Structure 1
Amino acid sequence: MYISEKRVEVRYAETDQMGVVYHANYVIWLELGRTQLIEDLGLSYVEMEKQGIVSPVLDLQVTYRKAMRYGERALVKTWIEALNPLRVVYGYEVYNEKEELCITASTTNILVKQDTFRPVSFKKFYPEWYEVYEKAKKQSE
């Protein structure tokens, strides 16, 4: 399986009163990781949006293991966990600079028409993307 990596600097504005990264900011980092994966695979989410298709998150699961603080750098690892014609499940791990696992997460995304928000088949509308995702998912299987 192909695993993308994205480094993220923890900014002061992302911390809470306790000096640790506020939990919701990890979700933004997941999006950065997902975007990096798409780019690494030679695809463009921007081009998909220009065609009137968007990919909302249907489900989000996050397990917080270790707090991160201002001044640290996070490493977001992202991969394709599961894939079918209607859904993509992305897997994530976020590590600190000491290579300690800070969170594990997954998101389930679908494709919808931007104007109606009606679901569309990933495999049918974007067969090239689907094939690239299949290959990236299966590299280690």
Structure 2
Amino acid sequence: MHISTKEIEVRYAETDQMGVVYHSNYLVWMELGRTKLIEDLGFNYAAMEKEGVISPVIDIQASYKTPVRYGEKALIKTWVSEYDGLRVTYNYEVYNGAGELSLTGNSRHVCVKKDSFRPISIKRSYPEWHEAYMKAKAQPEEVSGS
């Protein structure tokens, strides 16, 4: 299993009056983690979009544990937890500046043609991505230990 890491410097604009990161910003951070993972695997999502393929979120989940505050650096860990050739589920963990787990979450995606929104098979259309995802995805025994 490949786990990608991305460090984020918490900006003032991302926080509420208490100096705590506002909940919706974690979804943006999940996207940053996902993009970093794709880059780590040797691919570029923007290149796929230029070919008329997009990957919308079809489900998302987030559980907040401990706050991340202004002035800290957050660490996002991202990995592929499920992949079946069509749908991909990415899992996330976000840690605050003290190294405490702040968020667990996942997002599920499918690749579709931009003009029709018809799903495409990653396995057939992007065999290199398929191979990389098969190698990178978590095995059941790895997930329970994360």
Write the mapping of 1:1-141 to structure 2, written as runs, cut at 5 A: 1-137=1-137
Gapped runs of 5+ residues in structure 1?
A: none
| CA offset digits 1:7-57 (Å, max 9, x no partner) | 001000001122211100000000000000000011111110110000011
Gapped runs of 5+ residues in structure 2?
A: none
Secondary structure in 2 matching 1:120: coil
| CA offset digits 1:95-132 (Å, max 9, x no partner) | 01211000000000100111111111111111110111
| CA offset digits 1:66-109 (Å, max 9, x no partner) | 11111110000000000012200001000012110000000001
Asked whether the 8 Å contact 2:88–2:110 carries over to 1, the reply is yes
Asked whether the 8 Å contact 2:80–2:138 carries over to 1, the reply is no
Which 4+ residue blocks in structure 1 deviate beyond 3 angstroms?
138-141
Asked whether the 8 Å contact 2:63–2:103 carries over to 1, the reply is yes
RMSD: 1.3
Which amino acid is 1:80 matched to?
Answer: V
Taking the aligned partners of 2:125 and 2:29, their CA distance within structure 1 comes to 27
Secondary structure in 1 matching 2:137: helix
Calculate the TM-score normalised by the size of structure 2. Answer: 0.92
Calculate the TM-score normalised by the size of structure 1. Answer: 0.95
